[in-house]
Structure 1
Amino acid sequence: MGVDIEKKAFGFDEPLDRSRLNTVKWEFERERLGDDGILSFGTADMDFRSPPKVLAALQGVVASGHLGYPHKSASYYDAIVGFYSRRFGWRIAPEWIRFDVGVYASMGALIDQLTVPGDEVIYQTPVHKVFREVVEYAGRVPVTVPLVQVSGQYQMDFTALRRAITDKTKMLLLCNPHNPVGRSWTHDELRQVSEICSERGVIVVSDEVYCGLIFPGKTFVPFGSVSPEASRNSITLFSASKSFNLTGLKHSIVITENPAFRAAFERALKKGDLQYGGSVFGQVASEVALRDCDDWSSELMKYVAENLVYLKEFVSASMPLVTVNSPEATYLAWLDFSNYKISPEQLQSLMEQEARVILTHGYTMGEGGSGHVRLNLATQRVVLESGLRRIAQALQAWQHNSRTSVVNPDN
C-alpha cells in the first residue's frame, strides 16, 4: 500500500502534457518521421516529471530574480560527498571534485589532455556510439574489446583485454553501469580491470552516469572505491542527469584523487573558458537531487523494475523468439531479435514504419550490438503496453509476409 501511495505522489503513471514540451526523444522523432503517433523508447530520458524537490528548488532560483554566475558553496560539495558515502560507501574528498557541462564532454577533454594523437583507447562493446566517436574525433585509435555472454549474462573478457593492450594503449573507457546491457560490474570484476590497467600504465576513465539507477536488490560499486590503486589511476565521470531526469540542465561532475589528472582536466576546461561559473539551474538541481531525493529514486526504480517484469512476460507470451536481458542497473532493456534473421536496417525500418515505435538500434553500438535493440523502460505502463503491442503485431505481419513470399515466389 505504501509503495502505491508513493508512486501516486510522484506521478510515475501520469502521462506528461506534451503540448508544452519540445524534446529530442519525442517531438524531434515525430517531426523526423512526419508521424505524430510515434511512440518513443529511444533517447535515454525519462517520461516522468523530475523530482518534486528539484522542481521546487528551481522555482526558487527563478523567484530570486537573479540568474548570474553561480558559486559552489560547501553545501554543493557536501551533497556529492554525502551521496557517494550514503549510497555506495565510497568516501571521497571535496578537493577531488570538479565540474563540467556533460559526461561525454569531460571524456573528450581527458582524452585530449592525457593522450596524444595516435594513442590507443580501449572500450568494451556493445556500448553507446559516443565512446567510439569521442575517440575518433580526438584523432586517437579506438580499440574494442567485446563483452562476452556466459549463461545469458554479459561479462568482461579479461584475456582479450590483456591481449588488446599494447605500448600505444593509454586509456580505457569503462561504462559502469553499462549502457546498454545493464551490468553493474562487481567488485571483483572492477578489481581485475584495475590490476590489468595499473600494471600496463593504462588510465581508467569510468563513465558512471547511470549509478543512481540500480534495480531493487542489486548493488553498485564505483570504480574508484575498489582499491587505493584504482582511486589513484582513475577519473570518475558522473552527472545527476540520467538518475534524476535532468539531462537538459547540462551539469556534470568529475571526481579523481590524482592531482595530476585534476590538473589535466582543469587545463581542458580553461581551453574553452568552462572553468568559470556554470549553469545555476544545473548546479542547484544536482545539489538537491543528490542530497534530498533518495525516496524519489527508490520508488522510480521499483516502477522501472515492474515495467521490466511486464516486458519479459509480454515478450515470452507474444514474441517468444525475442530474448530480453536482465539488467542490474539503468532503465534500459536490451532485446535480442537475432532469431528473426532480419538485417539491422530492415529491423529499424520495421520498427519505425510498421510498428511506429522508436528504439535505439544495437548495430550503432559496435561488435555484439547487431540484431539487438535498446528499449527505454522509464515510461508510463500504458505507453509501454501500447508500444509492445505494436511491435508484436508488426513482427507477426512480417513473419506472415515472409512465409507468403516463400510459398509464392513469383508474387
Structure 2
Amino acid sequence: MEQFQQIIDRTGTRSVKWDLREKIFKRKDVLPMWVADMDFYTADAVKDAIMKRAEHHIYGYTATDESVAEAIQQWLKKRHGWNIDQQWLTYSPGVVTSLHILVQSLTEQGDQVMIQTPVYPPFYSAVNHHNRTLVKNPLKLVNGRYEIDFEDFEARLKNGVKLFILCSPHNPVGRVWTKQELRNMAELCIQYGATIVSDEIHGDLIYEGYEHIPVASLSDEISQHVVTCMSPSKTFNLAGLQASYLITREENLKKKIDKGFKKQGMGMLNTFGVTALEAAYLHGEPWLEELLSVLEDHKQYVMDSFHHKTDQIQVIQPEGTYLLWLDCRKMGMGQEKLNQFMIEHARVGLNDGASFGDEGNGFMRMNIACPKKTVEEGVYRIIQALNSYDKKDGE
C-alpha cells in the first residue's frame, strides 16, 4: 500500500491536472482534485515494459497484433467473465474519439441520440458537434441513490431514438448498474430499434459488494445490438498513452464502425500505448487489487468526514469509479457562487457539477485517486472554508 501514499510532484510534466491550475482556476494554490487521472505511479510491470521498449531507440509504425488481442481476451474473461472473439476488436486512441466516430458512423444528421444525465461532458459534444438531436433521459435521485426513470426511458425510445450512449459504470454519479437494470435497458433498445454504445472505461474500478457486468455479455441477442468501449487508461493511469478498443460482435455494425475509423484516418495505436496495454492486462492485476483497497479507504474517509463534520455536503454513495459526486445543494448557493467558494475559499479544484448538464447544478465532482494526505487536505480545506464562511454570515 505504501506506493499509493507517496506524494509525487507532477508539476513540470505538462500535467493537465497540475500544470494548468492557474489557467483553469485562476490561482496557483488550488489543490487539484478534478480531472480523471491518478496521482499514483502505474504498475511496475507497465513501467518496465515501456522502459524496455524505449531502450530499443526506434519508435516506428507499430502493429497491434494477436498477442495484444489475447491480452484483452484474457483480461475480460478473468475480470468480467466475458468471452470475446479477436475479430470483434477495433482499436482507437481513446473512448472520446470513439464516441465521436460512432455517432457519425451509426446515425445520420438529425437523428436522435439519448444520454442519461448528469453525465460525462463529452457525451454532449459527441452528439451536438455532429448535428444530431440530443435526447436526455435524466436519472432520478431517490434517497441518496440514482435510479433510471424507465418510464421516461421507454417514452424517449418510442419517439425515435436511434442510438443510446450508456455510461457504465456511470460518471459522475458512481452507479454500477445491476444485471436487471442493464437487461431492461437493452431489451427496450432492441424493442424500439436503438443501438447501444456502452462506455465501460471505469469497469475495472468497482467497490466491494458490486459487480461490473458488460451489457454485451448478457446474451447473444443483446450482444448483436451493442458496441462496447473499453480501455486500461483509467484502471492503470495510462490516459496520456492513448490506447483503447471497441468490441462489436454484429458483423454489419462492425463494418460501419471500421469504415468510420478509416474515414477519420484512424488505424494504428502509438508504440507505447500498445506496450502499456499489453503489460497492464497481463501483469497488472496485483497492482489493481491494491489500488481498489486504497480507493475503498479513501472513499469511506471522505464520506465519514463530511457526514460527521458538516450537514451541508452529502457524498452520493459510489459503487464504482474513483470520482465522488458531492451534493452541495444544502449550502444554498447558485452554481457560480458554489464554484467560487471551492476555488477562492476552500482552494480546492473540483469539477463543476453543471458541466455534466443542468441536473448537475448544486453538485461538484471530486477525484480521490491520490495519496491519503491529499484526500485529507482537500476535505480539511472544504470543511474549514465552510466553517469560516458561516462565521462571515454568507460573505
Q: What is the TM-score when the length of structure 1 is the normalising length?
A: 0.93
Post-superposition offset of 1:309? 1.1
- Give 1:116's aligned residue: 108
- Give 2:279's aligned residue: 288
The letter for the 2-side match of 1:217 is: G
How many residues in Structure 1 have an aligned counterpart in Structure 2? 395
- Give 2:50's aligned residue: 58
The letter for the 2-side match of 1:179 is: N
Post-superposition offset of 1:234? 0.6
The letter for the 2-side match of 1:189 is: E
Could you tell me how far apart the structure 1 residues matched to 2:11 and 2:64 are?
35
Q: Could you give the per-residue CA deviations for residues 304-331 of structure 1, whole angstroms, max 9, x where no partner exists?
A: 1100111112112222221111111100
Summarize the alignment of residues 328-367 of structure 1 with structure 2, pairs less than 5 Å apart: 328-367=319-358
Mark the CA change 1:308 to 1:332 in structure 2 (over 3 Å): closer, same or farther.
same
Q: Is 1:391 the equivalent of 2:382?
A: yes
- Give 1:187's aligned residue: 179
Post-superposition offset of 1:272? 2.3
* Match among 182, 199, 202 for residue 191 of structure 2: 199
Could you tell me how far apart the structure 2 residues matched to 1:227 and 1:402 are?
58
**2:176 partner SS:** coil
Alpha-carbon contact 1:146-1:367 (below 8 Å) kept: no
Post-superposition offset of 1:220? 0.6
Q: Is 1:21 the equivalent of 2:10?
A: no
CA RMSD of the aligned region, Å?
1.3
Alpha-carbon contact 1:333-1:377 (below 8 Å) kept: yes
Could you tell me how far apart the structure 1 residues matched to 2:226 and 2:393 are?
51
- Give 1:320's aligned residue: 311
Moved more, 198-207 or 263-272: 263-272
Q: Could you give the per-residue CA deviations for residues 275-323 of structure 1, whole angstroms, max 9, x where no partner exists?
A: 2x32011111011111211111111011011001111121122222211
Could you tell me how far apart the structure 2 residues matched to 1:373 and 1:33 are?
14
Q: Is 1:38 the equivalent of 2:30?
A: yes
Post-superposition offset of 1:151? 2.9
**1:17 partner SS:** coil
**1:174 partner SS:** strand
The letter for the 2-side match of 1:236 is: T
Moved more, 266-275 or 139-148: 266-275
Give the gaps of 5 or more residues in structure 2.
none
Could you tell me how far apart the structure 2 residues matched to 1:182 and 1:32 are?
25
Alpha-carbon contact 1:360-1:374 (below 8 Å) kept: yes
**2:20 partner SS:** helix
* Match among 63, 73, 90 for residue 71 of structure 1: 63
Could you tell me how far apart the structure 2 residues matched to 1:397 and 1:83 are?
49
- Give 2:138's aligned residue: 146
Alpha-carbon contact 1:191-1:227 (below 8 Å) kept: no
**1:229 partner SS:** helix
Could you tell me how far apart the structure 1 residues matched to 2:24 and 2:321 are?
27
Summarize the alignment of residues 132-281 of structure 1 with structure 2, pairs less than 5 Å apart: 132-275=124-267, 277-281=268-272
Alpha-carbon contact 2:25-2:349 (below 8 Å) kept: no
Post-superposition offset of 1:20? 4.4
- Give 2:297's aligned residue: 306
Mark the CA change 1:167 to 1:32 in structure 2 (over 3 Å): closer, same or farther.
closer
Post-superposition offset of 1:34? 5.0
Give the gaps of 5 or more residues in structure 1.
1-6, 406-411
Mark the CA change 1:33 to 1:171 in structure 2 (over 3 Å): closer, same or farther.
closer
The letter for the 2-side match of 1:42 is: W
Post-superposition offset of 1:96? 0.4
Q: Percent identity?
A: 33
The letter for the 1-side match of 2:93 is: V
Could you tell me how far apart the structure 1 residues matched to 2:252 and 2:358 are?
34
Could you tell me how far apart the structure 2 residues matched to 1:177 and 1:33 are?
28
Could you tell me how far apart the structure 1 residues matched to 2:167 and 2:297 are?
25
Could you tell me how far apart the structure 1 residues matched to 2:281 and 2:138 are?
33
Could you tell me how far apart the structure 1 residues matched to 2:107 and 2:10 are?
44
Could you tell me how far apart the structure 1 residues matched to 2:114 and 2:49 are?
40
Q: Is 1:378 the equivalent of 2:369?
A: yes
Alpha-carbon contact 2:11-2:18 (below 8 Å) kept: no
Alpha-carbon contact 1:213-1:331 (below 8 Å) kept: yes
Alpha-carbon contact 1:224-1:231 (below 8 Å) kept: yes
